[in-house]
Amino acid sequence: MAGATRGAGRGIAAGLGEAGATVICTGRSSVHGPGPYSPGGSDYDRPETIEETAELVSRLGGIGVAARVDHLDPAQVGALADRVRREHGAVDVLVNDIWGAEVLKGGPAQWDTPIWELDLEDGLRILRLGLDTHLITSHYLLPLLIERPGGLLVEVTDGTAAYNAGHYRISVYYDLVKNAVNRLAYAHGHELRPHSATAVAVTPGWLRSEMMLDAFGVGEANWRDALVPDRADGLPSAPPGFAASESPRFIGRGIAALAVEPDRARWNQRSVTAADLARAYGFTDLDGSQPDAWAAM
């Protein structure tokens, strides 16, 4: 599980844990070295760690293993591949959820800013965080995925290929990354098919990540409080579309369902939403619902 510290990555690790999987939880935010731009650390000044994610996986019935890895560093990813081969022999499911550019992409006030007014260094780092990490990880880990038939690669992005083709996404840099990740799944699927492996791009809807919940001053237990207009606590109210938001566990359950699908090759090279998977497999979010923020949009 590449990029398992928080958000969709933690939710996917948890979903796989519910299914009893052994999940190698990788990321830069560790009890051994958190902090913004610290050597091997995260771009976010956030409290979540890969160790917390691994513990969650184990509590839910799986086996969680924390592995501190900077997926921009080929040597570290290569060492991860060596460790996985040595300890586990192969990889059944590889999830590329590496991102880390939420701060760099800016908030709504900065969206739709033309490229000549954006910081070039920040923009190029968005590309590195969102694309180079996925390519480096695939280079080293896909050989382990094709060790035996039936492997599954999941590329996590924002927006399906169909949606993104007709909608400008925030900025040139963000738009390029999220379109490219969909195409990565298509290209990887072409290369993996002869090895009886499958590649799928999956996007969550409006994700109630830790950062999103913090922005509205709520938690997962009371997230609907963010929908109250003119809140007495003075915190911002979420727009009505937030009612169709989903917990990170929703996409996790979708990928877990894909992982045990005997005929998962039918999904090869496709770009789908977590809601699409819920309709196909019948799973629900933590509250028993099947949210679909993309349909609401």
Instruction: Give the per-residue pLDDT at 235.
Output: 86
**Average pLDDT of the chain to the nearest whole number:** 95
- The rounded distance, in Å, linking the Cα atoms of 239 and 226 is 9
pLDDT tens for 201-257 read 999 999 999 999 999 999 999 999 999 998 888 888 999 999 999 999 999 999 999
Distances (CA, A) of 207 to 27, 170, 197: 19, 17, 28
Instruction: Give the per-residue pLDDT at 1.
Output: 86
pLDDT tens for 187-216 read 999 999 999 999 999 999 999 999 999 999
Residue 297 has pLDDT above 50, yes or no: yes
Instruction: Give the per-residue pLDDT at 104.
Output: 95
Q: Tell me the mean pLDDT in the region 173-182.
A: 98
CA dihedral for 115, 116, 119, 122, sign (positive or negative):
positive
- The rounded distance, in Å, linking the Cα atoms of 144 and 94 is 9
Q: Tell me the mean pLDDT in the region 85-102.
A: 96
**What pTM value is reported for the model?**
0.95
* Banded model confidence at residue 44, pLDDT cuts 50, 70, 90: confident
Domain with CATH 3.40.50.720 in the chain: 7-207+249-296
Instruction: Give the per-residue pLDDT at 35.
Output: 42
Of the chain, the percentage scoring pLDDT greater than 70 comes to: 97
Out of 3.30.420.40, 3.40.190.10, 3.40.50.720, 1.10.3720.10, the CATH code matching 7-207+249-296 is 3.40.50.720
Tokens of 91: 């990889």
- The rounded distance, in Å, linking the Cα atoms of 100 and 2 is 12
Residue 40 has pLDDT above 70, yes or no: no
Contacts of 40 (CB under 8 A, 6+ apart): 28, 33, 68, 70, 73, 76
Instruction: Give the per-residue pLDDT at 41.
Output: 67
Q: Tell me the mean pLDDT in the region 23-45.
A: 75
Q: Tell me the mean pLDDT in the region 15-28.
A: 97
Residue 165 has pLDDT above 90, yes or no: yes
The percent helix, strand, coil of the chain (3-state, each to 5) is 50, 10, 40
- Give 235's DSSP letter: P
- The rounded distance, in Å, linking the Cα atoms of 42 and 29 is 5
Start-to-end C-alpha separation, the chain: 29
**Secondary element (H or E) of residue 198:** strand 198-203
Instruction: Give the per-residue pLDDT at 38.
Output: 44
Instruction: Give the per-residue pLDDT at 39.
Output: 53
Taking residue 185's Cβ as centre, other Cβ atoms within 10 Å add up to: 29
Classified as helix, coil or strand, 179 is helix
Contacts of 49 (CB under 8 A, 6+ apart): 5, 27, 29, 30, 31, 34, 66
Instruction: Give the per-residue pLDDT at 232.
Output: 82
